[in-house]
Amino acid sequence: MNLFTRHCGSSINSAALICACLWLCGCQPQMPETVRSGLVYCSEGSPESFNPQLVTSGTTIDIISQQLYDRLVDIDPDTGSIVAGLASSWQVSADGTHYQFTLRDKVSFHSSSYFTPSRPFTAEDVAFTFNRITDPLHPFHLQGGGIYPYFQSVDWASLVKQVQAVDDHTVVFKLQRPDSSFLSNLTTDFAAILSAEYGAQLLSQGQPGQIDRLPIGTGPFRFREYQKDILVRLYRNNNYWRGNTQPEQLVFDIVPNNARRMAKLFTHECDIVSYPRVAELELIAKRDDVTVQESTSMNVGFWAFNTQKPPFDQLAVRQALGMAINRAAIMQAVYYGHATPAYGILPPTSWAYNEGLPAPVYSPARARALLAEAGYPNGFSMDIWAMPVQRLYNPNALKMAELMQADLAQIGIKANIVSYEWNSFRQKLGNYEHDSVLIGWAADNPDPDNFFRPLLSCAARDSGSNRANWCDPAFDEIISNALLTADQQQRRALYLSAQQYLHQQQPLVAIAHSQRFQAISSSVSGVNINPYGGIALQQARRVTP
Amino acid sequence: MTRYLFRRLFLMAFVFLALSLLAFSLSYLFPGDIVQNISGLRQIDEAQRQQLVSYYQLEHNVLAQYLAFLQRIAHGDWGLSFASQQPLLQEIKLLLPATLELAAYALLLSFIVGIPLGIIAAFKPHNLIGKSISALALVGYSLPIFWWGLLLIMLFSLALGWLPSAGRIGVLYEIPHHSGFILYDILQADVKYRIEALHNALQHLLLPTVVLATFPTTVMIRFVRDAMLNVWEQNYIKTARAKGLSRGQVLYRHGLRNALLPVIRQIGLQFSTLITLAMLTEVIFSWPGIGRWLIDSIYQRNYPAIQAGLLVISTLVIAVNMLTEILHALFNPLARRG
């Protein structure tokens, strides 16, 4: 306290000028509109790129996707149905291989200091966007490495035969085979529409790389500046076709440190904070200047076994491991009660959810019996790989691994916890070097297929993203058949049996479906969280008290 | 004076020689591939490697490599940062002003506060005021800056909500980058909200400046007090007093001038501590300066950045040291002889 008085005391003769100025200005500064209506979103990391086609990280998608771009079709976050976006209507041919979109009129791309559009949005832009992904001769195909992770995970290149601009307002997608998840894939944050005219301008300037750095989209905000590891500044797009964007300015303040992000929320330096730590939610709930938004998110955290490696190739062993885990403790210690226990990989909010799945059993005694049956009466030693990063579906994989380690010791299994830096972790997983791994999946679209094909199909195994290293032709047939039909009843039946099949085979143990949280200053309203992807800030506004 | 300057510059040349040798050897001492460490490039194909090896004279002896290194430094080719793959010199140019600005204000504050308090403490060494100033100076001197900074954030930002906890200016204020000195940039900026931005920037400045100024202020108080007490015992002061000059006159004309001479020198000596503390302050307050950048670089094992950062900061410290020595000599003819 002494120190404090000294500083204040000394300020009297010294910093009197500063103090006076602060006091004077502090009274009621007349804030200019750009500052007053501006919003600050404190993000946990820098964007990797400004083109959603190239990324999968939720951090980047939150910053760029919904703010800068639009998609042909969108998801209604309430009903989960597909609604018009840049395409005002669409028709599907009877055989399901021919999608024709009618595009919206008078949609303009952003004009900024580096690009001024001379024409509105047309079918040419759609063709430009999607051909970039599939056409090796497209001038931008190899830009940024030629890797389009989301589209590769859904096997886009082998599905889409051709994207053709019929006239300015009509674009046709021709598919190799019917795929009932096709429209859902177009609604994802990754299917953002880029400008062909901007691409041509960059080519003639000889700077094609800028297309992913200085973005031009049709979204509610336009890009202003990016200071690496400091901030991303967006301005309102005054010509937005949906109109009605509130904030004149939107700043993504990059604050990787959790505690600091929380402090900035409390000091009102941030209006919205992404992913507050579940452990801190109670602290936030006590304050009346901050509200916590909770929303359902389509995700699942799971424990996958490398089913090609003994002893995990034995069903009894996998079942025994599943029974040895005390989920109640995990739900409490890792998710702090903010998640629902998972019965299968599909979350209960999905229309294809199988209500008939039995609740997971916790029984070390039965687990031991199963192990003995499988020929391991004295247990064995195994590795649990715990992902090194915090994700919604698993906020603390290391802690979870430690809990499981203790549970497994009960049935005589000695578990070692393994972790690597995130990039090498994923790389080694892709090479299937693991015994078992704690990881998860967050859906990009509401289609149930999004939980099956990218996670457990043979194609996913070949591309290294099937964490269970599991390829079962019977299962593959069920989920492929589900794609070939558009009839929802039929599809539902197929997905129910797929879930049943997974329950029997247990290539992975589903653990929890987590809620997504957003801490928001009470003076801000209209923040919408899309359960299938990034945050949308178009409707966000500051309400003057 | 010319001889003195010449001698100083000669000494400085040696210091720089040693510094450049150290910086040069770092590329070889860091783990990893030498070509990567020097260039900062992460992915180097064979053709590029050949080109780089000949550019860096790596096939020649160490002396040739060292000379090539000096040439590159002089030409501003400092290599790339591992983390951002941007030219290091450019990054440093953007960051250094923020650190200098913070350090300069803190130093200024420590003069404005420290000198008067030191004089008061010297005048009344035995009464309550003098003793409490000395006591406070001692406590301030031994305060761990990290704890002190966090304490102030807790109090003024989190509890009272008066001041922001991090950064240089509210992110909603868009100030174009001219000089990198935020207050100057705001005054130069062609924006409508100049006054508000200035107010906001000053609010952001207040806590870091106070935290950073704490240590130099206490040093200043103690130093001024001791120097003043010392000068006050001198015969010429007694003579002046005996001649009938008032206390104030003696203090101003004879005391202060002589007592403050060593203070100038003290600035140079304290500057390296100040820069070290500035790095900590930058980390505490997320101040986008070179200190935070350097600490991040150490975490990321960004070797080219560590090398460049060390070079810049040591050069700065040496230059300031030299400058204050010269200033001191200018004001004090006695020092020139030494």
Of A403-417, B25-39, B139-153, where does mean pLDDT reach its minimum?
B25-39
- The Cα A224–Cα B21 span in angstroms is 43
Looking up tokens 């979109």 gives A101
Whether the CB-CB separation of A247 and A537 falls below 8 Å is answered with yes
Candidate from B116, B143, B170 with C-beta closest to A3: B143
| A381 interfaces chain B, CB cutoff of 8 Å | no
Whether the CB-CB separation of B262 and B223 falls below 8 Å is answered with yes
Q: Per the structure block, which two tokens stand in for B160?
A: 């009272």
| Cα Rg, chain A, nearest whole Å | 26
| pLDDT score, position B190 | 81
| A31 interfaces chain B, CB cutoff of 8 Å | yes
Please compute the mean of the pLDDT values over residues B14-32 and round it to a whole number: 86
Q: Which of A418, A453, A456, A423 is nearest to A438 (CA)?
A: A418
pLDDT category, B6, cuts 50, 70, 90?
A: confident
Nearest C-alpha of chain B: how many angstroms from A342?
38
Please compute the mean of the pLDDT values over residues B151-170 and round it to a whole number: 88
- In chain B, which residues touch A (CB < 8 A)? 84, 109, 112-113, 116-117, 135-136, 139-140, 143, 148, 153, 155, 157-158, 161, 164-167, 170-174, 192-193, 195-196, 198-199, 202-203, 206, 210, 214, 217, 286, 288
Q: Which of A214, A201, A204, A227 is nearest to A118 (CA)?
A: A201
A309-367 per-position pLDDT tens digit: 888 999 999 999 999 999 999 998 888 888 889 999 999 888 889 988 998 989 999 99
pLDDT category, A437, cuts 50, 70, 90?
A: very high
Of A16-20, A472-476, B274-278, B312-316, where does mean pLDDT reach its minimum?
A16-20
Q: What dihedral angle (degrees, nearest 10) is formed by the CA atoms of A257, A263, A266, A270?
A: -40
Whether the CB-CB separation of A99 and A90 falls below 8 Å is answered with yes
Nearest C-alpha of chain A: how many angstroms from B34?
23
Could you please report the per-residue DSSP string of A465-532?
--TT----HHHHHHHHHHHH---HHHHHHHHHHHHHHHHHH-SEEEEEEEEEEEEEETTEE--EE-TT
| pLDDT score, position A31 | 66
Burial of A21 (0-12, 13-18, 19+ CB in 10 A): middle
Contacts B192 to A, Cβ<8 Å:
32
| A256 interfaces chain B, CB cutoff of 8 Å | no
Chain A, residues 259-318, CB within 8 A of chain B, namely 260, 263-264, 266-269
Q: DSSP 3-state assignment of A45?
A: coil
Cβ-Cβ pairs closer than 8 A, A with B, add up to 98
Please compute the mean of the pLDDT values over residues A13-39 and round it to a whole number: 57
- The Cα B221–Cα B138 span in angstroms is 10
- The Cα B129–Cα B141 span in angstroms is 18
Whether the CB-CB separation of A517 and A297 falls below 8 Å is answered with no
- The Cα B248–Cα B316 span in angstroms is 38
Answer whether A29 sits within 8 Å of B202, measured CB to CB.
no
| pLDDT score, position B131 | 87
Contacts B148 to A, Cβ<8 Å:
3
Q: Per the structure block, which two tokens stand in for A437?
A: 């791994």
A80 pLDDT exceeds 80? no
Three-state SS string across chain B, please? Answer: CHHHHHHHHHHHHHHHHHHHHHHHHHHHHCCCCHHHHHHCCCCCCHHHHHHHHHHCCCCCCHHHHHHHHHHHHHHCCCCECCCCCCEHHHHHHHHHHHHHHHHHHHHHHHHHHHHHHHHHHHHCCCCHHHHHHHHHHHHHHHCCHHHHHHHHHHHHHHHCCCCCCCCCCCCCCCCCCCCCCHHHHHHHCCCCCHHHHHHHHHHHHHHHHHHHHHHHHHHHHHHHHHHHHHHHCCHHHHHHHHCCCCHHHHHHHHHHHHHHHHHHHHHHHHHHHHHHHHHHHHHHCCCCCHHHHHHHHHHCCCHHHHHHHHHHHHHHHHHHHHHHHHHHHHHCHHHHHC
Whether the CB-CB separation of B278 and B106 falls below 8 Å is answered with yes
Question: What mean pLDDT, rounded, does chain B reach?
Answer: 85
Q: Which chain A residue shows the shortest CA-CA distance from B170? A: A269
Candidate from B155, B173, B288 with C-beta closest to A230: B288
Does B217 or B4 have the greater pLDDT score? B217
pLDDT category, A544, cuts 50, 70, 90?
A: low
Contacts A27 to B, Cβ<8 Å:
none
- The Cα A495–Cα A224 span in angstroms is 45
| Cα Rg, chain B, nearest whole Å | 24
A301 pLDDT exceeds 90? yes
Three-state SS string across A255-290, please? Answer: CCCHHHHHHHHHCCCCCEEECCCHHHHHHHHCCCCE
| pLDDT score, position A101 | 94
- ipTM, 2 dp: 0.79
CATH superfamily of B89-337: MetI-like (1.10.3720.10)
High-pLDDT (> 90) share of chain B, % = 12
Question: What mean pLDDT, rounded, does chain A reach?
Answer: 85
Q: Which residues belong to CATH 1.10.3720.10 in chain B?
A: 89-337
| pLDDT score, position A545 | 52
Looking only at Cα atoms, what is the longest distance across chain B? 85
High-pLDDT (> 70) share of chain B, % = 99
A425 pLDDT exceeds 50? yes
| pLDDT score, position A234 | 93
Going by DSSP bridges, is the β-strand pair A39-43/A249-254 parallel, antiparallel, or unpaired? parallel
Residue A96: how many other CB atoms lie within 10 Å:
17
* Phi, then psi, of A536 in degrees rounded to 5: -115, 125
Answer whether A13 sits within 8 Å of B116, measured CB to CB.
yes
Q: What is the pTM of this model?
A: 0.80
Answer whether A263 sits within 8 Å of B195, measured CB to CB.
no
| A26 interfaces chain B, CB cutoff of 8 Å | yes
B223-258 per-position pLDDT tens digit: 888 888 888 888 888 888 888 888 788 888 788 878
Q: Which of B183, B180, B150 is nearest to B165 (CA)?
A: B150
- The Cα A46–Cα A63 span in angstroms is 9
Answer whether B193 sits within 8 Å of A22, measured CB to CB.
no
Distances (CA, A) of B305 to A537, B95, B277, B315: 37, 13, 20, 15
Q: Which chain A residue shows the shortest CA-CA distance from B151? A: A4
Looking up tokens 């901030």 gives A231
